[in-house]
Amino acid sequence: YKYSNNFISFIKKSPIDTTILKIKLQEYYKNHYEHIDIHKINIEPRSYITSLPNEFTVDIKSKNYLKKDGILSIKTRDQKRIFFNYKIKAHVNIYLSRKKIKKKEELSVINSMKKSIILDNFKAKPIQDIKNSSLEAKHHISKDKILTIRDVQALSLVRKGSSVNINFFRDNINISFTAEALDDGKLGQIIRVQKTNGKKLKVKVTGKNKAEII
């Protein structure tokens, strides 16, 4: 209940224990961030209640992890919903571009750095880890930008025009030769290559400038 005038405001808080909701919220954020240090969680019902139901399920919106605050709800056995406002204070690890990164440039410690920042509001999920030969820029990225899943894609292990080592296995016979890649290719993708005699083949990318005949 709330009463206000020009001078003072009174708020009656619900006498409930929100520990179980805090635990669920903590689990939710930890499932979305590999490295998150949660300092404080505050949860308040949006309307006055005297107690939580004995049985209920917790519902948190799919993209709430991008924000430091939001709304969660609980659903009782009789399908009644009770809504809560929450705020979370935490630090998360992100990757920041050290310099301008060109489109299709591989992400590494040379052009990006890990940093711990206060969780605020993100437009997209920040990249949690940069492993060697795993990610490349999807478009040009400016300096000092937080890298998100919108900015990256799986690294192309084969580039169009590059020389590719091709392996062919059959009946305990292993044949290897080189060919020119006619397409870019990520791990497991099927691309076309051209042999020195002009013959074109379809192969599956197995590694950095490596493929096998399918």
Please give the structure tokens belonging to residue 144. 């000092």
What's the mean pLDDT in 171-199?
92
Residue 132 has pLDDT above 70, yes or no: no
10 pLDDT band (50/70/90 cuts)?
confident
* 199 Cβ neighbours under 8 A, 6+ residues apart: none
DSSP secondary structure, 58-117, as one string: EEE-TTGGGBSEEEEEEEETT--EEEEEEEEEEEEEEEEESS-B-TTPBP-TTTEEEEEE
Model confidence, pTM: 0.78
Please give the structure tokens belonging to residue 20. 């179980």
What's the mean pLDDT in 160-174?
89
Residue 101: Cβ within 10 Å count = 25
Residue with tokens 């060109």: 102
* 54 Cβ neighbours under 8 A, 6+ residues apart: none
Residue 81 has pLDDT above 80, yes or no: yes
- Per-residue pLDDT tens digits for 20-68: 999 999 999 999 999 999 999 999 999 999 999 999 999 999 999 999 9
Three-state DSSP state, 170: strand
